Every structure is written in C-alpha cells, then in structure tokens.
Structure 1
Amino acid sequence: MKIKSIKAYHVVQPFVDGPYRMSKGRVADCFDAVIVAITSDSGVTGWGEMAPLGNFYSAAFPAGARAGVPEIAPHLIGQDPRGLAGIGRLMDTVFKGHPYIKSALDMACWDLAARAADVPLVTMLGGRESDMAETYRVVTHGTLDQMAALAKRIIAEGCRRLQVKVGGNVHDDIERVTTVASAVPKGTVIFCDANAGWTPYQARQFADATRGIDYTFEQPCTTLDENMSVRRMLDKPMVLDESVTSLGEMLEIHRRGVADGLTLKISRLGGVTQTRLIRDVAVDLGFMITVEDTGGAEIDTAAMAHLSLSTPAERRLHAIAFHEWVTVRTARNAPPVTGSHMGIPDGPGLGIDVDPSLLGEPFFEIG
C-alpha cells in the first residue's frame, strides 16, 4: 500500500458559547483547523485534524499549520501509510521541529491504516479498556456571577467534572474558585487550571487561601523548577499540561516528582504516534492521564476518544468533547456523548464519516 494523494482543508470552527477566555486577556473566538485527507493507491482514505487555540496557547499558530503541511506532504507520496514509525522519522528528517504541523498528517495515517485493516483505531492503540470515558467541561474566565451561572448550568446538564480557569489576579481567582465551589454540589470534581499563568509566589498564595476547597491543581507555573517549588508545599494533587512537550520532558517530570497526572495534547506532541508512546510509558510510571488536544471538531475528538478509551481505566482522568464546542460540522456522525460520558463511533479507523462537502475546497492538493 502506498500514499497516492494528500488534500488539506482550512475550516474555521466558531465556538457555540462565544469567545473562549483565559487569564491575562487571552481570548479565542474559534478553532482555526487544518483537516488532512490521505488516500492510498487502494482507494482508502484516512483523516486527520489539528487546530491551535489562537496564537497564545501553545507554540503553534493556524497560519503556520497551513504553511507547513504543503512543505511536508510531497515527501509522503509513495510511502506506506502503515509504516507509522517510519512516517514520523521521515517528517522529522525533512522538516525539523514544529510537531503541531505533523499532527494531522500522522493522525490521517493512523486512520488510514486502521481502515485498511478493517479495525477501529482503539484496537491498534492497545485495545478498548472501557465503553465510555467520563468528560469534563470548562468554566472560563468571567465575573463571579457569570462563572457561577455557567458552573450550575454544566452540572444541570449532567456533567460532574469542572475545569475552572484561573491564572490571573490571584485574589480575584481565589474569589472565583470559592464562588464556583459553593455553587455546585459537594463531590463535584474541580480542576483549577492556571495555564502556566502564575509565578510560584502567586501560586502559593492561591494554594494557601484555598486549602479548604477540594480540587486538583493544574499547571500553575511555566517551568518545571517553578512548578516543583509549588509542589513542595502543596497538599493537593498536581497535573501538568503545557510542560508535557516530549517523551524526554515527561521522563524529567517523573524523575523529579513534579506531578501526579499529565494532560497529553495530540498536536503538541506531534500526533497519535508520539501521544501513544508517551501515554504508554507514563501509565507504566504510574501517572494519571488525560488525552486531549488544543482544538478541533469531530475528527480530532474521535482521535482523543480512541486514545482515551485505550488508556487503562484506573489511570484515566477524563476526556473532553470538542465537537460540542463548535457551530460547524465536518462529518455525518460524531463520537457519541451520553450525559457526562463519551464513547467512540462505530466503524473502522476513527469511525468518523467525514463529509468533504462540509469542508469547502482544499487549499492544498498533491497526488
């Protein structure tokens, strides 16, 4: 089997609930996605997707993804898409760095390989560990009343896990989290995610003032040294997200004991291949795991679901249904969401029935 053609599409995906707000004035109105279709000489097509969250969240930006795919794609023509490790090495050889650009291409090869084998992707990723993964939803930055109202609405809709955005003015964030925690039922799982927005001084202020609230601390500071200085005084679990950029960084987090859990972003790591590798090693090392991404719709959410459900249930934290965030559709089906749980679509590969008519004309095509 050989790769015969590659197409790339640009799809803007506005948010259902309006702008997505983080601390320090960071705002995004949409996911700005690149969707890739890779077709083999046997006529099988695999799909991949990646979407940075604006220009501020990761070392990735939408225009960079659109510019990078045409640089890499010609080198993949004629390659066997089932040789996934080799595809990864080839992309790293011809295009140094920029793992987010490679993510959709890598994902499409996994989808194609699983479709060609007539098995769901979860089977190739180690096997299905459970039928559904529990999901969380985000309480974005806003006024106290706005955040409390959003938290109550999320709980009323059946979700039991909240990620509350902090990382701005510490005293305001103490009020925000206290208000949200008071507005939801006892036993609601709360993660306080600073998105690396604080200094250690600020993070320790926050942790000290909120000792009476049951939550998990997520990525309070930028560097491992900074997070470790907070970890030493913390009486709560800590999860790192932005710090997990490679296998080497994950191993350093483990060596230094900086975190109890990890959030693995598919595009930040360069695709399904590296995410699966880091996930498997991290599970063996005892970390709790969340697999998600920086953004996307049905295709990317399906990849997240397959990786989540092939993670041992006792090591899985939660998942997120990004396709429910956006106003546009890219496929005729989606990962099924029932209450606060998400599964995987039926069928081989990602199980997603992508509708090219929903994507517009490709901005790049080779074959």
Structure 2
Amino acid sequence: MKIKSIKAYHVVQPFVDGPYRMSKGRVADCFDAVIVAITSDTGVTGWGEMAPLGNFYSAAFPAGTRAGVPEIAPHLIGRDPRGLAGISRLMDTVFKGHPYIKAALDMACWDLAARAADVPLVMMLGGRESETAELYRVVTHGTVDQMAALAKRIVAEGYHRLQVKVGGNVRDDIERVTAVAGAVPKGTVIFCDANAGWTPYQARQFADATRGIDYTFEQPCTTIEENMSVRRMLDKPMVLDESVTTLGEMLEIHRRGAADGLTLKISRLGGVTQTRQIRDVAVDLGFMITVEDTGGAEIDTAAMAHLSLSTPEERRLHAIAFHEWVTVRTASNKPPVTGSRMGIPDGPGLGIDVVPDLLGKPFFEIS
C-alpha cells in the first residue's frame, strides 16, 4: 500500500457560545482548522485535523499550518501509510520542529492504516479500556456572577467535572473560584486552570487563599521549575499541560515529582504517534492522564476519544467534546455523547464519515 494523494482544507469553526476567554485577556472566537485527507493506491482515505486556539494558546500558528503542510506532503507520496513510526521520523527529517504542522498528516495516516485493517483506531492504540469517557466542561473567564451562573448551568445539564479558568488578577480569581465552588453541589470535580498565566508568587497567593476549596491545580506557571516551586507548598494535586511538549519534558516532570497528572494535546506533541508513546510511558510511570487537543470538530474529537478510551480507566482523568463547541459540521456523524460521557463512533479507523462538500475547495492537493 502506498500514499497516492494528499488534500488539505482550511475550515474556520466559530464557537457556539461566542468568544472563549482565558488568562491575560486572551480571547478566541473560533478554531482555525486544517483538515487533511490522505488516500492510498487501494482507494482507502484517512482523515486528520489540527485546529489551534488562536495564535496565543500553544506554539501553533494557523497560517503556519497552511504553509507547512505543502512543504511536507510531497515527501509522503509513495510511502506506506501503515509504517507509522517511519512516517513520523520522515516528517521530522524533512521538516525540523513545528510538530503541530505534522499532527493532521500523522492522524490521517493512523486513520488510513486502521481503515485498511478494518479495525477501529482504538484497537491499534492498545485496545478499548471502557465504553465511554467522562467529560468535563469549561467555565471561562468572566465576572463572578457570570462564572457562578455558568457553572450552575453546566451542572444542571448533568456534568460533574468543571475546569475553571483562572490566571488573571489573583484577588479576583479567588473570588470567582469561591463563588463557583459555592454554586455547585458538593462533590463536583473542579480543576483551576491558569494556563501558565501566573508567576509563582501569584500562584502561591491563590493556593494559600483557597485551601478550603477542593480542586486540582492545573498549570499555574510557565516552566517546570516555576510549577515545582508552587507544588512544594501545595496541599492539592497538580496537573501540567503546557509544560508537556516532548517525551523528554514528561520524563523531567516525573524525575522532579512536579505533577500528579498530565494533559496531552495531540497537535502540541506532533500527532497520534507521539501522543500514544508519551501516554503509554506516562501511564507506566503512574501519572493520571487526559488526552485532548487544542481544538477541532468531529475528526479531531474522534481521535481524542480513541486515545482516551485506550488509556487505562484507572489512569484516565477526563475528556472533552470539542465538536460540540463549534457551529460547523465536517462529517455526517460524530463521536456519540450521552449525558456527560463520550464514546467513539462505530466503524473502522476514526469511525468518522467526513463529507468533503462541507469542507469547501482544498487549498492544497498533490498526487
């Protein structure tokens, strides 16, 4: 089997609930996605998606993805898409760095390989550990009243896990989180995510003032060292997200005892290949794991679901359903969500039946 053709599409995905707000005044109103189709000489097509959250969240630039895919794609023509590790190494050889550009291409190869084998992708990622994964919802930055009201609405819709955005003015965030915790039932799982928005001084101020609230602290500061300095005085679990960009960094986090859990983002790591590798090692080292991405619709969410459900349930934190965030559709089906839990679509590969007509005209194609 050989790769015969590659097409790439640019799809803007506006948010259902309006602008997404996080620390330091960062705002986005859409995911700016690149969707890739890779077709083999046997007629099987695999799909991949990469969608940054603006230019500010992760080291990913939407226009950079559109420029980078045409640089890498010609090197993949004629290669066997089932040689997944080799494809990953080849992309790193011909295009140094910029893992986010390679993520959709890598994901499409995994989808194609699983479809060619007529198995769900989850089986190639280690096997299905459970039927569904528990979802969390995000309480974005806003006023105290807005955030408390949003948290109450989310819980009323049947969700039990909240990620509350902090990382702004410390005193204001203390008030916001206190209000959110008071507005939801006892036992609601709360993560306070600063998205690396604080100095250690600010993070320690927040942690000290909120000792009476039950939550997990997520990525308060930028570097591993800064987060470690906060962890030394913390009496709560800590999860790191932005700090995990390579296997080496994950191992450094483990060596230093800097976190209890990790959030692995497919595009930040360079695709399914690297995410699966880091996930498996992290599980063996005892970390709690969330697998997600920087954004996307049905394709990317399906990849997240397959990686989540192949993570041992006792090591899995939660998942997120990004396809519910956006107003556009890219496929005739989607990862199934029932209540606060998400499964994977039926069928081989990702199980997603992409409708090319919904994607518009490719901005790049080669065969």
Q: TM-score, normalised by structure 2?
A: 1.00
Give the CA deviation at 1:192: 0.1
- Supply the distance in 2 between the matched residues of 1:126 and 1:170 (Cα, whole angstroms): 42
Give the CA deviation at 1:158: 0.7
Give the CA deviation at 1:302: 0.1
Pairwise mapping of residues 223-238 of structure 1 onto structure 2 (< 5 A)? 223-238=223-238
Runs of 4+ in 1 over 4 A off after TM superposition: none
- Supply the distance in 2 between the matched residues of 1:149 and 1:176 (Cα, whole angstroms): 11
* Matched position secondary structure for 2:24: coil
- Please say which of residues 142-151 and 94-103 is displaced more in the overlay: 142-151
- Supply the distance in 1 between the matched residues of 2:67 and 2:180 (Cα, whole angstroms): 41
Deviation by residue 1:90-120 (Cα, 9 ceiling, x = unmatched) = 0000000000000000000000000000000
Deviation by residue 1:182-227 (Cα, 9 ceiling, x = unmatched) = 0000000000000000000000000000000000000000011100
Match of 1:125 in 2: 125
Give the CA deviation at 1:61: 1.0
- Supply the distance in 1 between the matched residues of 2:351 and 2:30 (Cα, whole angstroms): 25
Deviation by residue 1:106-162 (Cα, 9 ceiling, x = unmatched) = 000000000000000000000000000000000000011111111111011111000
Match of 1:160 in 2: 160
- Supply the distance in 2 between the matched residues of 1:16 and 1:104 (Cα, whole angstroms): 24
- Supply the distance in 1 between the matched residues of 2:132 and 2:24 (Cα, whole angstroms): 35
* Matched position secondary structure for 2:204: helix
Identical counterparts, % of pairs: 92
Give the CA deviation at 1:23: 1.3
Deviation by residue 1:266-286 (Cα, 9 ceiling, x = unmatched) = 000000000000000000000
- Supply the distance in 2 between the matched residues of 1:23 and 1:285 (Cα, whole angstroms): 31
Give the CA deviation at 1:177: 0.2
* Matched position secondary structure for 1:351: coil
- Supply the distance in 2 between the matched residues of 1:104 and 1:358 (Cα, whole angstroms): 18
- Supply the distance in 2 between the matched residues of 1:141 and 1:224 (Cα, whole angstroms): 24
Tell me, which stretches of 5 or more residues in structure 2 are unaligned? none
* Matched position secondary structure for 1:252: helix
Match of 2:341 in 1: 341
- Supply the distance in 2 between the matched residues of 1:309 and 1:8 (Cα, whole angstroms): 28
Give the CA deviation at 1:352: 0.2
- Supply the distance in 2 between the matched residues of 1:163 and 1:352 (Cα, whole angstroms): 27
Deviation by residue 1:257-315 (Cα, 9 ceiling, x = unmatched) = 00000000000000000000000000000000000000000000000000000000000
Tell me, which stretches of 5 or more residues in structure 1 are unaligned? none
- Supply the distance in 2 between the matched residues of 1:332 and 1:201 (Cα, whole angstroms): 49
- Supply the distance in 2 between the matched residues of 1:26 and 1:80 (Cα, whole angstroms): 41
- Supply the distance in 2 between the matched residues of 1:88 and 1:125 (Cα, whole angstroms): 16
- Supply the distance in 2 between the matched residues of 1:156 and 1:337 (Cα, whole angstroms): 16
- Supply the distance in 1 between the matched residues of 2:183 and 2:141 (Cα, whole angstroms): 16
Deviation by residue 1:42-69 (Cα, 9 ceiling, x = unmatched) = 0000000001100000111100000000
Match of 2:178 in 1: 178
- Supply the distance in 2 between the matched residues of 1:47 and 1:228 (Cα, whole angstroms): 39
- Supply the distance in 2 between the matched residues of 1:225 and 1:126 (Cα, whole angstroms): 33
- Supply the distance in 2 between the matched residues of 1:267 and 1:24 (Cα, whole angstroms): 23
Deviation by residue 1:210-267 (Cα, 9 ceiling, x = unmatched) = 0000000000000111000000000000000000000000000000000000000000
Give the CA deviation at 1:328: 0.3
Match of 2:308 in 1: 308
Deviation by residue 1:61-85 (Cα, 9 ceiling, x = unmatched) = 1000000000000000000000000
How many residues get paired?
Answer: 367
Give the CA deviation at 1:325: 0.2
* Matched position secondary structure for 1:92: helix
Give the CA deviation at 1:339: 0.5
Q: RMSD value over aligned CA atoms? A: 0.3
- Supply the distance in 2 between the matched residues of 1:214 and 1:174 (Cα, whole angstroms): 13
- Supply the distance in 1 between the matched residues of 2:180 and 2:67 (Cα, whole angstroms): 41
- Supply the distance in 2 between the matched residues of 1:68 and 1:165 (Cα, whole angstroms): 32
- Supply the distance in 2 between the matched residues of 1:31 and 1:330 (Cα, whole angstroms): 13
Match of 1:47 in 2: 47
- Supply the distance in 2 between the matched residues of 1:128 and 1:29 (Cα, whole angstroms): 34
- Supply the distance in 2 between the matched residues of 1:339 and 1:155 (Cα, whole angstroms): 11
Deviation by residue 1:165-188 (Cα, 9 ceiling, x = unmatched) = 000100000000000000000000
Pairwise mapping of residues 72-221 of structure 1 onto structure 2 (< 5 A)? 72-221=72-221
Give the CA deviation at 1:24: 1.2
Deviation by residue 1:337-365 (Cα, 9 ceiling, x = unmatched) = 00110000000000000000100000000
